[in-house]
A and B are shown apart, each in its own frame.
Chain A
């Protein structure tokens, strides 16, 4: 049942972008008589400025995350936290991914690959990891890109709120996987 649903959803998904790319200009041209080519070019011009504008923000965030990652600090933090989390039922094997997820997309994908290689795709550990990976975004990257694109420097409650939601997501991943899969 679920497999069929997933299959058909992913099937539908591959038609969405082409439909939008044709459907929007079609509606504009046929119904509203919008000069679509000219309007497109005007809009597309902003692509360059926005992309260039986010560079300093992205450099700031990604360099800090990169230094943190490369230093082995995450392993130290994990050793520190593992006994506590094991006590409350949070599997230690999934902790690195939970900590990495808000920091780095490629880093957490690497950790998920490690889980698959070490525990196999059928293990609960891998499924928890994949759920964590799929249910969250790279908070710091999104923050740098979104706020950077408009020059917002003072992020107010964005970071604590984002990290809180990430923590809830990671804990829910463990909870629902243990409840529904194990």
Chain B
């Protein structure tokens, strides 16, 4: 799926760029974004290091396990294939809490830590597991209690008027995300394909 979307965005970009006489802008965007990607990644190093360090302390002190156990009734439904006392649950819960509280800087490192721990449970390292997709979908639909600082900066006091609507909209999209993931993960076309079969498809 991502193969087609990725290629499609570039192909449409070039075609529309020629049609709209913006082909120079398309070329520049490609080169600029390649640079920006590296800047973003490098910029993450410090924050990542900080939160991963703190997380290691939380793990060593047993805090993660306590949190994971407490929220197990909820997480077992969302991530049934993750064992009860696996550290992934702790990281997932912390990442979600950070998202809910609008702590974007902390959420990403915690989320990546969770991904790393989910990967330990993955038999096929290049393919997403059901839990990974569920985790990602909940993340992108972003349950958030605190309005983004950018929105508050843009709208001033008026921002409080969209507080309730934002929570309701984000709640709807999160419920939709959970439902659609649960539905799609059972579809045949999204099934996990064993490595050998996939390779045959590629050669054939």
Q: Are B10 and A122 in contact (CB under 8 A)?
A: no
Q: Are B55 and A27 in contact (CB under 8 A)?
A: no
Q: Are A155 and B1 in contact (CB under 8 A)?
A: yes
Q: Are B61 and A109 in contact (CB under 8 A)?
A: no
B162 CB-CB contact with A under 8 Å: yes
A64 CB-CB contact with B under 8 Å: yes
Q: Are A159 and B1 in contact (CB under 8 A)?
A: yes
Residues in A neighbouring B103, C-beta threshold 8 A? 13, 16-17
Q: Are A177 and B162 in contact (CB under 8 A)?
A: yes
A85 CB-CB contact with B under 8 Å: no
Residue of A58, A139, A169 with most chain B CB atoms under a 10 A cut-off: A169
Q: Are B133 and A24 in contact (CB under 8 A)?
A: no
For B149, the closest partner residue in chain A by CB is A10
* Contact for A28 among B42, B63, B125, CB less than 8 A: B63
Q: Are A70 and B29 in contact (CB under 8 A)?
A: yes
Complex alpha-carbon distance, A62 and B142, angstroms: 20
Residues in A neighbouring B187, C-beta threshold 8 A? 157
B82 CB-CB contact with A under 8 Å: no
Q: Which range contains the number of A residues in contact with the other chain?
A: 35 or more
B5 CB-CB contact with A under 8 Å: yes
How many A-B residue contacts, CB cutoff 8 Å?
369
* Contact for B170 among A64, A134, A154, CB less than 8 A: A134
Residues in A neighbouring B141, C-beta threshold 8 A? 136-137, 162, 165-166, 169
Q: Are B128 and A162 in contact (CB under 8 A)?
A: no
Residues in A neighbouring B169, C-beta threshold 8 A? 131-132, 134-135, 169, 172-173, 176
B156 CB-CB contact with A under 8 Å: yes
Residues in B neighbouring A50, C-beta threshold 8 A? 44, 48, 52, 112, 116
Q: Are B60 and A28 in contact (CB under 8 A)?
A: yes
Complex alpha-carbon distance, A2 and B164, angstroms: 8
Residues in A neighbouring B38, C-beta threshold 8 A? 55, 58-59
Residues in A neighbouring B185, C-beta threshold 8 A? 156-157
A-B contacts, 25 of them at CB < 8 A, read A6-B160, A17-B103, A25-B57, A39-B53, A40-B54, A40-B57, A46-B49, A46-B52, A47-B52, A51-B41, A59-B34, A68-B10, A69-B29, A71-B16, A71-B22, A127-B158, A135-B169, A135-B170, A138-B140, A154-B198, A157-B181, A158-B128, A159-B5, A161-B184, A165-B141
Interchain residue pairs A-B with the least CB separation, the first 5: A43-B56, A47-B49, A169-B173, A67-B13, A66-B33
* Chain B interface (Cβ < 8 Å from any Cβ of A): 1-2, 5-6, 9-10, 12-17, 19-20, 22, 25-26, 28-30, 32-34, 36-38, 40-42, 44-50, 52-63, 101-103, 105-106, 108-109, 111-112, 115-116, 118-119, 125-128, 132-133, 135-137, 139-142, 144-148, 150-152, 154-170, 172-174, 176-177, 180-181, 184-185, 187, 190, 192-193, 198
Given contacts A59-B33, A71-B22, A162-B140, 12 further A-B contacts (CB under 8 A): A3-B157, A3-B160, A24-B63, A47-B46, A47-B53, A72-B20, A102-B140, A134-B144, A146-B111, A158-B128, A165-B180, A168-B173
